Amino acid sequence: MTFGFGLAALTQLTGVNSIMYFAPTILLDTGLGTQAALTATIANGVVAILAVSTGMWLLGRYGRRPMLLTGQVGVTVSLVLIAFCFLALPESAVHSYLALASMLTFLLFMQGCIATVFWLMLSEIFPLRLRGFAMGTAVFGTWMANFVVTLVFPPLINAIGGVTFLLFAAVNAATLVFYIRTVPETRGRSMEDIETHFRRQYAA
């Protein structure tokens, strides 16, 4: 249950909802006009839908662990690119559209790999006797982490600008290390086998 709660919280600490909720503000800060920023934000939703559809297809062909790790690498690199746009490029159309492309790449990896694997793994890692309570705890962790990210992002972006995305990138890099050490492959494994894995891991 501890692992499920951590997985849920870390999925939100990728910063995904800072991108989803505040996309127009981020794009305005790059110099994009108000109307263009609002229009470009629609691309976020379109990419998210396409990425989830693709991720669901990939889940039947590849393991959960490689998809999760790939997604984590992708969002980390994307956040570094967004920070680069803010910190190293002068205000211009190229600056704005490179930032938008980096945001869309972030969502592609997040929704296509991390989000789809996260929700599936939650249904696979909890034993039946605890599943209802454990799923509730994990979803609570998801929304609490979402609340924290939503609360701190606006003051952070106002205070330190593009460095905010480097902070998120650092969190995601640490999360990648955590996943490499702890996330098992659940595809094709029985519930009993997965439960035994976690018992041994947390007993060690």
Per the structure, how many domains does the chain have?
1
Domain span at residue 137 reads: 2-203
Distance, C-alpha 25 to centroid of its chain: 19
Q: Please, what is the angle between helix 131-160 and helix 16-29, to 10°?
A: 20
pLDDT tens for the chain, residues 1 to 204: 677 778 888 888 898 888 888 877 777 777 776 666 677 777 778 888 899 888 888 887 888 889 999 999 999 999 999 999 888 877 777 778 888 889 889 999 999 999 998 888 887 777 777 778 888 888 888 889 889 998 999 899 889 988 999 999 999 999 999 999 888 877 777 667 776 766 676 555
User: Three-state SS across 151-187?
Assistant: HHHHHHHHHHCCHHHHHHHHHHHHHHHHHHHHCCCCC
Q: Which residues, in sequence order, are CB contacts of 130 under 8 Å at separation 6+?
A: 1
Q: Which residues, in sequence order, are CB contacts of 52 under 8 Å at separation 6+?
A: 111, 112, 115, 116
pTM for the structure as a whole: 0.87
φ, ψ at 188 (rounded to 5°): 80, 5
Which CATH number fits the domain that encloses residue 44?
Answer: 1.20.1250.20
